[in-house]
Amino acid sequence: MINSLFNIESRRYTGSKAKLTDWIISLMKKYCKGDVFVDIFSGTGIITAATIKEKMFKSIIINDFLYSNYIIYDAFFSTRIINDKKLERIIAKYNSIDLKSIKPNYFSKNFGGKYFHKNTAKHIGYIRDDIEKKKKSLTKREYNVLLTALIYATDKAANTVGHYDAYIKHKPKDKRIVMKMLAQLPFKNIKIYKEDANILAKKLKADVVYIDPPYNSRQYSRFYHLLETLVKWDMPILYGTALKPATENSSDYCTVRAPQVFENLIRSINSKYIVVSYNNTYKSKSSSSKNKISLDEIEGILNNKGKTKMFSRSHKYFNSGKTSFDDHKEYIFITKVND
């Protein structure tokens, strides 16, 4: 019996809005109306999760271009029936396996002694191999629930500061992988996408669209390459000290083209309200953390779309310790789109 659960917000993720969710939801409740909600750069999925808990919308569209996030959304939000008892038994076996019986594998050979203790990496690799072997005996959602439980357990054991752009340069602790079932939030009228937001926006009509794109040069596909590899299990050739696969899924929002692609996105959106999250890392001492879009650019682009209100609050920004911010603020823009 699995006595505890993974909640959707219980992972480390750069730019996570976990500590800002209540504030964002309160603003949306006060200034936005409608039945159809789009979370187009969903990341952790916690804003969508909050709208489900609050019963704010009748229909939801959620999107992110990372495959690992797509898997997580299906595991938490889908209404397809799964056999909880079967999954609990599988997870219990994974948690109790004798690590001495596990042979080295792709995961341990590449990531052991760096991102994880060698024993931890062997355990992760064994579980991932076994989930793949069981795939034919699992429904698609059961498969995704097990992968999600492994993602969350892996994240808890990682020798990192919360992402996989690099590992901490000391010997990893021998942490045992502990998988759990999920605190599911099934929602009947939800559609889950893994697309470029600018392309997807052209296909959608909504009442409220929430936008939280990356704003600096840190590519999320590179920050979370290890989880992408773990989920895809394509065992790519890895390069460099950080052991990353060949580059894929690069976002223009992390380049000098960011203002242009953001403007194109806003122009494409067909909705009554647009809600944008923004943080002021343009004052960062690290060049890779500096915003590619300025506050004035965001405000100007949104004002061209409709009447825009701006809200702010102080917020301690997550960073790896090399960057400091004085009075860092998080901003929310709410635009009532012109008729």
Q: What is the pLDDT of residue 1?
A: 47
Show Cβ contacts of residue 162 under 8 Å, excluding neighbours closer than 6 positions.
12, 13, 14, 318, 320
Instruction: Give 225-261 pLDDT, tens digit per residue.
Output: 999 999 999 999 988 998 888 877 667 777 788 889 9
Q: What is the pLDDT of residue 110?
A: 96
Look at the block and give the residue holding tokens 């590619």: 292
Do the strands 36-39 and 206-211 form a parallel or antiparallel pair, or are they unpaired?
parallel
Q: What is the CA radius of gyration of the chain?
A: 20
For 123-159, b/e burial (b = at least 16 CB within 10 A) is: bbbbbbbebeeeeeebeebbbbbbbbbbbbbbbbbbb
Q: What is the pLDDT of residue 320?
A: 44
In angstroms, rounded to a whole number, what is the distance separating the alpha carbons of residues 49 and 186? 10
Q: What is the pLDDT of residue 161?
A: 86
Q: Which fold has domain 5-337?
A: Rossmann fold (3.40.50)
In angstroms, rounded to a whole number, what is the distance separating the alpha carbons of residues 13 and 158? 13
Whole-angstrom CA distances from 52 to 15, 21, 107, 275 are: 21, 13, 36, 17
Q: What is the pLDDT of residue 214?
A: 78
In the chain, DSSP finds a helix count (H) and a strand count (E) of 12, 9
Q: What is the pTM of this model?
A: 0.91
Instruction: Give 305-330 pLDDT, tens digit per residue.
Output: 999 999 999 766 554 445 554 556 89
The domain ranges of the chain are 5-337
Q: What is the pLDDT of residue 284?
A: 44
Amino acid at 112: G
Look at the block and give the residue holding tokens 């990531």: 111
- Tens digit of pLDDT at every position of the chain (339 positions): 456 999 999 998 887 899 999 999 999 999 999 999 999 999 999 999 999 999 999 999 999 999 999 999 999 999 999 999 999 999 999 999 999 999 999 999 999 999 999 999 999 999 999 999 999 999 999 999 999 999 999 999 999 988 888 899 889 999 999 999 999 999 999 999 999 999 999 999 999 999 998 775 567 777 899 999 999 999 999 889 988 888 776 677 777 888 899 999 999 999 999 999 988 655 544 444 456 688 999 999 999 999 999 999 976 655 444 555 455 689 999 999 998
Angle at the Cα of 338 from the Cα atoms of 337 and 339, rounded to 5 degrees: 115
